C-alpha cells in the first residue's frame, strides 16, 4: 500500500481510538457516579434503583464491546507500523480498499471473513 494511503488509515484509526477512549471514560463516570449514589441513603429512591442498575449494566456492556474494538484498532495500528496493514491475515491477499474504508481495523479479506462467519454459524 502506498504511504499516503497508509497515513490516511492511520489518521482515521488514531481518531477512532481517541473517540472510543473518551467513550469508555464516560461510561466509567456513569459507573463511578452510580457507586457514589449507592453509597448514599437510597431508601427513598426505590423506584429509581431499577433504572440505575439498568444504566450500570448498559455501561458495562458498552465498555466491554468498546474495549474489544479498541484492541482491534491498536492491533491495526501495529500492523501499519509492521508494514503488514491491508493484508489478509489468513490468505495474505490484499484487502480491497472499499473494505478498508468501511472497516479500517479489519484483519481479513471479505472472502476469509465470510468463511470465518460461516464457521461460527
Ligand atoms: Zn483472505
Question: Is residue 66 domain-shared with residue 117, that is, in the same domain?
Answer: no
Question: Is residue 109 domain-shared with residue 78, that is, in the same domain?
Answer: no
Triad 68, 71, 76: Cα angle to 5°: 130
Centre of ligand 1 to C-alpha 93, Å, is 6
State pLDDT tens for residues 47-68: 566 788 888 999 999 999 999 9
Q: Tell me the residue ranges of DSSP E strands in 3-115.
A: none
Residue ranges with CB less than 5 Å from ion ligand 1: 88, 90-91, 93, 109, 112
Q: Is the pLDDT of residue 95 over 90?
A: yes
Question: So what's the pLDDT on residue 51?
Answer: 81
Question: Is residue 90 domain-shared with residue 115, that is, in the same domain?
Answer: yes
Question: Is residue 29 domain-shared with residue 46, that is, in the same domain?
Answer: yes
Question: Is residue 91 domain-shared with residue 79, that is, in the same domain?
Answer: no
Domain membership of residue 113 as a residue range: 86-121
Question: So what's the pLDDT on residue 17?
Answer: 98
Residue 9: how many other CB atoms lie within 10 Å:
21
Q: Per the structure, how many domains does the chain have?
A: 2
State pLDDT tens for residues 8-61: 999 999 999 999 999 999 999 989 887 776 666 555 555 566 788 888 999 999
Amino acid at each position: 500500500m502506498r504511504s499516503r494511503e497508509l497515513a490516511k488509515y492511520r489518521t482515521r484509526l488514531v481518531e477512532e481510538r481517541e473517540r472510543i477512549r473518551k467513550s469508555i471514560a464516560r461510561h466509567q463516570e456513569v459507573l463511578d457516579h452510580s457507586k457514589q449514589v449507592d453509597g448514599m441513603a437510597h431508601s427513598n429512591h426505590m423506584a429509581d434503583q431499577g433504572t440505575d442498575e439498568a444504566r450500570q449494566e448498559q455501561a458495562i456492556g458498552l465498555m466491554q464491546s468498546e474495549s474489544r474494538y479498541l484492541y482491534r484498532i491498536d492491533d491495526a495500528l501495529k500492523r501499519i507500523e509492521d508494514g503488514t496493514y491491508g493484508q489478509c491475515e489468513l490468505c495474505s491477499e490484499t484487502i480491497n480498499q472499499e473494505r478498508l474504508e468501511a472497516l479500517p481495523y479489519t484483519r481479513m479479506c471479505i472472502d476469509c471473513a465470510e468463511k470465518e462467519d460461516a464457521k461460527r454459524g
